[in-house]
Amino acid sequence: MNPRRVAAISAKEFIHIIRDPRTLLIIFIMPVLLLMMFGYAFNLEIQDVRVAVIDDDNSALSRQLIERFEGSPFFTVFHYQGSREDLETLFLERDARAILSIPENFAATLIGKHPAGIQVIIDATDPNAATSINNYCRQIVTDFNAGLSGGAAMPFTLESNIWYNPEMRSAPFFVPGILALLLIMISALLTSITITREKESGTLEQILVSPIRPGEIIIGKVLPYILIAFLDGSMILILGVTVFKVPFVGSLFLLALLMALFVLTALSLGLILSTIASTQQVAMMLAFVLTLLPTLLLSGFIFPLASMPLPLQLISTIVPAKYFLVIVRGILLKGNTIAELLVQVLWLAGMSVVLLTISWRKFSTNLER
């Protein structure tokens, strides 16, 4: 290994990056864009759900119940004036996402100490939102019941304590995901493109006929991207903590260390891709299918892994981001130490070793395939 030849490759790679607007765009605009998109557009918190109310009872009690719905920030309540037959048009025309129907004699039945039923109809075209709406409705009705019985007659109550993200905000949830996504994108996508570009343009043929070793080419090419990945990672963390108020409970040093480990895993993935792909187009396609999509879908970034069918869960065990997400969320929100993250660290390290060994061996020093 000759450091001067490695430095020559790295220096040249930096010039490529600086002169290529597409790469610059991915490096500097992508992180900001992703944060903006997820931070403002992608919002898992539900607010201002329009609820149509049909109050057939029109009693003091029924009005009290409705007031409770009105008092919640999650609901915007309005009274439905149309006919019963046209009720569905509320959903069809997206005027309301839930309908609350209070039957006649609601108050009378309750005062007579009999159980009274009310009906909630929910538009479940978005099932996640429907579940949340259902839960909020139950919550309000439970509170209402507790108020009626004077707080004494309930056999027991459930008091929820939500830790690590008590307001259940989205930001602490998506910022680690974006970090993983971006590091994968830069490390895997850009490195695979940079090596296949040299294959395509014939420059690899030219530099192979020099005393350079494959390891020197690989390390020289990868170094600038490690730096950039780190730069971008820090940028996302800083923006996440300052703008999106993501808590940072754990050790910054540990996070930096494990971020380096994840970058290494992602880079080895990129190297593997570049040994398979012969053109930039193929490399890009492979990178999207084999790294970006799994990171987005099979890492637990957006969709919980536990609720996936077994085959997908099995696939997710080889998605590096799955482990990195546990690490980042653990360190940022819970203050995890290395001892509690050992399994994840070992998985990432193991994957890196396997991938690097394969790409090292497959990296051809001549033009024979």
Partner 1 sequence: MHHLIVDNVAKTYGETRALKGVSLAVEKGELFGLIGPDGAGKTTLLRSICTLLVPDSGSITVAGLDISRDVPAIRAILGYMPQRFSLYQDLSVAQNLRFFADLFQVPKHERPERLARLYHFSRLEPFKSRLAGNLSGGMKQKLALSCALIHTPEILVLDEPTFGVDPVSRQEFWEILHQIRAGGTTIVVSTAYMDEADQCDRIALFFEGEIAAMGSPAAVKGAFPYRVYRLSGTALQDLKTFLEGQPEVRGIQLFGDALHVSFSEKPSPETWREWARRGGFPGLRWEEISPSIEDVFLAHMAGETA
Quick one: 7 or 111, whose CB is closer to partner 1? Answer: 7
Helices (H), 243-319: 252-276, 280-287, 293-297, 310-316
Q: Per CB under 8 A, does 16 bind partner 1?
A: yes
Decide: is 201 part of the binding site for partner 1 (CB under 8 A): yes
Helices (H), the chain: 3-19, 21-24, 30-36, 60-71, 89-92, 106-111, 127-148, 171-184, 191-201, 203-208, 214-242, 252-276, 280-287, 293-297, 310-316, 320-329, 342-362
State yes or no: residue 19 binds partner 1 (CB under 8 A): yes
**Of the ranges 24-32, 210-218, 224-232, 332-340, which one interacts with partner 1 (CB under 8 A)?**
210-218
* Residue 2: CB atoms within 10 Å: 12
Residue 24 lies near partner 1 (rule: CB under 8 A):
no
Taking the complex as a whole, the smallest distance from the CB of residue 327 to partner 1 amounts, in Å, to 37
Question: What residues contact 134, with CB distance under 8 A and at least 6 apart?
Answer: 120, 122
| Nearer Cβ to partner 1 (10/170) | 10
Assigned token pair, 349: 């390290």
- Pick from 208, 219, 256, 315: which binds partner 1 (CB under 8 A)? 208
48 scored as a contact of partner 1 (CB under 8 A): no
Q: Give dist(CA 9, CA 215) in Å, integer.
A: 11
- For partner 1, the binding residue among 60, 153, 209, 339 (CB under 8 A) is 209
Q: Can you state the angle between helices 320-329 and 171-184, rounded to 10 degrees?
A: 140
Asked if 362 is part of the footprint of partner 1 (rule: CB under 8 A), the reply reads: no
For partner 1, the closer of residues 93 and 368 by Cβ is: 368
Residue by residue, DSSP assigns 96-123 as -SEEEEE-TTHHHHHHTT-----EEEE-
Applying CB under 8 A, does 365 fall inside the site for partner 1?
yes
Give the amino acid at 338: I
Q: Using the rule CB under 8 A, is 219 a contact of partner 1?
A: no
- Residue 340 within binding range of partner 1, rule CB under 8 A: no
* 2 near partner 1, judged by CB under 8 A: yes
Residues in the chain: 369
Nearer to partner 1, 357 or 365 (CB): 365
Helix 342-362 to helix 320-329 angle (10° resolution) is 150
Which residues make beta-bridge pairs with 78? Answer: 52
List the interface residues with partner 1, window 93-152 (CB under 8 A).
none
7 near partner 1 (CB under 8 A): yes
How many binding residues for partner 1 (CB under 8 A)?
27
The residues binding partner 1 (CB under 8 A) are 2, 4-5, 7-8, 11-12, 15-16, 19-20, 201-203, 205-213, 365-368
